[in-house]
Amino acid sequence: MTMHTLVAIVEDHPGVLARVASLFRRRGFNIQSLAVGPTEMPGLSRMTIVVDGATVAVEQVRKQLAKIMEVIKVSDISRQRLVAKELALIKVRTTPTTRGEIIRAADVSGARIVDAAGDSITMEITEDSEKIDSLITLLRGFGIKEVARTGRVAMTRGAEAVLQAGAETGPARGRRRGPPAVPETYKERS
């Protein structure tokens, strides 16, 4: 099995996330990471979905995702050169004797202290998943009180974008009722 990073540009409507997640559930995939947020275009959201699966099976899911009415475009960007990051907040137990060591561990790993209390330090790190995992492993010896992680967000390196200006809409767009959600200058290439 291989980790795949899928990026879907979807209409920002209630129920879209549920339909996407339901498709993965029906196909028996466990979503490892999911991040959703607004795009540069009003009314559209970007979903970054990390899933572990065989390439052929993930490609089938990608094609099925593209058939969902509100999905404008979906791409498997796993084999491309990526910028991929995740954010983690980590709260660690401290004592007067461990405080300095924890601060040094945060500094060396590129984490930033965002809160300090008498018996704990909370740090923020924005990095790839492996570096965050390494920091968490290092801090376990001090006693981690809490960890909160976002899902991975990713985009391809270079000038290419998932939704290119001047592109045409995909086949699912022909089923849409009412005006298209995507301005003509941002439609997907066929």
174-183 pLDDT per residue, tens: 444 443 445 4
Given CATH 3.20.20.70, say whether it is the number of domain 2-81+158-186: no
Q: What is the CATH number of domain 90-149?
A: 3.30.70.1150
List beta partners, residue 127. 86
Looking at the chain, the domain(s) classified CATH 3.30.70.260 span 2-81+158-186
- Summarised one tens digit per residue, pLDDT across range 107-155 is 999 999 999 999 999 999 999 999 999 999 999 999 999 999 999 999 9
CB 43 within 8 A of CB 184: no
Q: Produce one character per residue of 24-33: b if its CB has 16 or more CB atoms within 10 Å, e if not.
A: beeeebeebb
Q: pTM for the full model? A: 0.79
Instruction: Tell me how far apart the alpha carbons of residues 27 and 61 are, in angstroms, rounded to a whole number.
Output: 8
Give the span between the Cα atoms of 11 and 182, in whole angstroms: 9
Question: 68-101 pLDDT, tens per residue?
Answer: 999 999 999 999 999 999 999 999 999 999 999 9
pLDDT at 165: 47
- Give which of 5, 23, 33, 3 is closest to 70, Cα–Cα: 23
Confidence check: pLDDT of 63 > 90: yes
Give me 4's structure tokens.
Answer: 């795949």
Strand partners, 156: 82
Determine which helix (DSSP H) or strand (DSSP E) holds 145, and give its type and residue range.
strand 144-149
For the chain, residues classed under CATH 3.30.70.1150 are 90-149
Given the structure tokens 């809490």, which residue do they identify? Answer: 146
Provide the CA 43 distance to its chain's centre, in angstroms: 19
Indicate whether 166 pLDDT > 90. no
Q: How far apart are CA 6 and CA 171, in angstroms?
A: 19
Alpha carbon distance 6, 74 (integer Å): 7
